[in-house]
A and B are shown apart, each in its own frame.
Chain A
């Protein structure tokens, strides 16, 4: 765990502490609450400035909910979102109301997954990309046009395109528009939620390279949410692996891929089909069963029904996320005993 004396603390741009989001399940005429979907259950996550943190996990693990909580699209049920404002003071975004959030809205932006449904078909690129400039900065039209032209150029689109509508563009180009819109207000943190998942292989690589270039140019910090472990490895400096609403492992990317500490991470890495010719001989771990239902989380360690290393203790006792090695945390009772297999070498 990161403590107040940790030197790395100074560079954290954003940090969550015990972030929790439960969605009530309502039923019947009066909307009686009959259960809770525990989408996030006590998330501690640290995002260092200028870095890319990759958030991986399968559908339903809460990774998108986490991104949305950081943007305060969702109101967290409990916990803190400590954001370091440009002047250095920490602000708890989870405690602010709409009015109080306003100054921070322009500093944390989102890139959406689907480039087709996330752009309004009745707006031109100028309107789409220029809208945040108009609303947040109150710029006049000539200035907006100038800024939009510059933004389009930065994401690799021709400025002349600004008067066209989204339907004139391919998926990859639309995603560039989505990126331009996210960057319009010079944010400090960009949450990319499956930003390349809807794209074809070659276009995906173009967008990944673009995101990397933009990060270098303007010292952006990314929270890169993806289910694709190959893509995350390419993008991220640090990784957090989620399973059913919890972070089960964190660590520096290369170390985590080379030697995972949590059995779920091992299984995920092993399940990725890899085009490298040598990987065919690799022995694979195929997990039993399916991802647990976040409204009926198994007792003890949520991963225990699928875990090959599970013991009696795992059925009853919830493992806490703890430091196993410097910079490495895992939520597994046996993390320091298991010798798990990574990828590479």
Chain B
């Protein structure tokens, strides 16, 4: 891997609420190299957004990072610095300068009271020693870079005068303003139309190519992940259950959850109409985290006596850089390995959606 721009080790973020503790992020390990795109995929409530926000220490109370390390390149010098114990000053320097973030809804992430130029220019003025006029010049240049037509006029536009796709471009321009090494994009295209989504993905891809910027792409859309990412991390209930090179994970998923997720998406142009094989049941309530492997109540390859007891450790293989957290693959796995594959095909999970959970 090229030079590391972010290394997360055993990150834990918890929300202490009146009714109990929600372990939103529960021991996540990730690493991103320069110019690399890592997709973090998972369904709502799997903790992917909280994880992303934790990296920039943006988790609101009562959420708290309770453990782990977040190493980024030190804004003051050459080495790495751990953001978890870092002081506010360091964190501020990292935000925007080293790592920038783009949020899901461009409409609500911008101030409706200020022009684009003011909002983007503010970030430049904060981080760099430039005059207002220079900041404005930079802003126009950035707006042009992200493909906004007539940037010298748009710089004075207010957010309500722009379409969703254009605003998302402006958000990306804002994120680029201080040449970050890493862009964290939290569902950047979810609120956009298909053709606009394709435009934004194209833009992110070109930024990576031309500027060597690393991207952490948080998404629930496996297609978006496949389109852009070099590597993929699949999250379920706060932990990364499978991790590896995108093509090999999609070609040969190992974790039963990854398999089920892929089985839930209709294949475009397949023409086969093969019945979808979704995960049965639903994500358990945050307070009732299952014991052992968090996925075991919904797993098609559940092994009684093992999965509900033992928390699986990350297991490497078969390709280098791949890792899976599943007892099937620990200590050689067992005879169950192949039986499960055929079983997943014919036991459709629908109609049983209510059989568990907390309704």
Contacts and interface: CB of A to CB of B under 8 A. Distances in A.
Given A202-B279, A274-B268, A277-B247, A287 B353 contact: no
28 contacts: A58-B195, A158-B354, A172-B282, A173-B282, A176-B353, A200-B283, A202-B261, A202-B282, A203-B43, A205-B265, A209-B278, A209-B348, A227-B193, A229-B194, A233-B266, A271-B195, A271-B198, A272-B194, A273-B223, A274-B223, A274-B268, A279-B268, A280-B227, A287-B198, A290-B166, A291-B193, A291-B195, A344-B271
Contacts of B260: 202
Say whether chain B's binding surface is mostly helix, strand, loop, or mixed. Answer: loop
Interface in B306-359: 348-354, 357, 359
B261 A58 contact: no
A210 B199 contact: no
A254 B350 CA distance: 25
B123 to A, nearest CB: 26
Contacts of A291: 193, 195
Nearest to A232: B266
A274 B350 CA distance: 23
A172 B353 contact: yes
B267 interface: yes
Given A58-B195, A173-B359, A287-B195, 8 more contacts: A157-B353, A201-B261, A202-B264, A203-B353, A209-B275, A234-B276, A290-B166, A290-B196
Contact of B223 (A58, A230, A233, A342): A230
B250 interface: yes
Q: Which residue, A272, A342, A345, has most C-beta atoms of chain B within 10 A? A: A272
A172 B196 CA distance: 28
A229 B261 contact: no
A140 interface: no
B75 interface: no
Interface string B105-142: 00000000000000000000000000000000000000
A204 interface: yes
Interface stretch (A104-112, A163-171, A308-316, A331-339): A163-171
Contacts of A161: 354, 359
A336 B43 CA distance: 43
A4 interface: no
A257 interface: yes
Nearest to B354: A157
A234 B275 CA distance: 9
Nearest to A280: B226
B41 to A, nearest CB: 9
A156 interface: yes
A291 B164 CA distance: 11
A205 B350 contact: yes
Nearest to B44: A200
B144 interface: no
Given A230-B266, A290-B165, A170 B194 contact: no
B149 to A, nearest CB: 9
Interface string B277-307: 1110011000000000000000000000000
